[in-house]
Amino acid sequence: GGIVDEEMEEKGNEAARNVADRTFSWGLFTGVLLGVGQIALIPKIVPLFSTLPEVQEAVKLPALISSFIHIVNGPLFAGEGILLGLERFKALTCITGIGTAIMLACLASPLGMRLDGILLSMAAFNASEAIMLVWHHVRMGPLRRRREDDVWKDVTVA
């Protein structure tokens, strides 16, 4: 179990949804913080790899791609944790399988022939999985907002 499913058992779906939403928000915040921090530090990080200017130039794009991966990993890890806590293993397996297929397709393409292409393949996996996890949470999962949950359902516009 986890905090989301415990909240659902104790206080219901609305409270669990709020905890899950905060988890996604904190995941995104943390990912952005790490990614932007790494981007800001690229000029300081790159020289650590080598004193050769050619190597320093070659490592800039992979470092930038890695920074992007940090950003998408925040909601990805939050979503995986939420689905694990809610014991939605089938949904998580399907999402991971689709993400893996996307990554393998990228690796089988000309992208798979270069280091930056391999990192882009990983970024495609992480980004697609993050998008699917957020989509599942918002539209398909047990905590999705339903029509009867709509706070505006009783409001009429004249």
Map tokens 């970024």 to a residue: 123
This prediction has a pTM of 0.84
| Distance, CA of 82 to CA of 94 (rounded, Å) | 15
Q: Are 98 and 43 in contact (CB under 8 A)?
A: no
Determine the Cα–Cα distance for residues 105 and 103; give it in Å rounded to an integer.
Answer: 5
Helices marked H in the chain:
3-11, 13-45, 53-85, 89-108, 115-135
Rounded distance between C-alpha atoms, residue 26 and residue 157, angstroms: 35
Q: What is the pLDDT of residues 11-24, one digit of tens each?
A: 988 898 999 999 99
51-75 residue pLDDT tens: 999 999 989 999 999 999 999 999 9
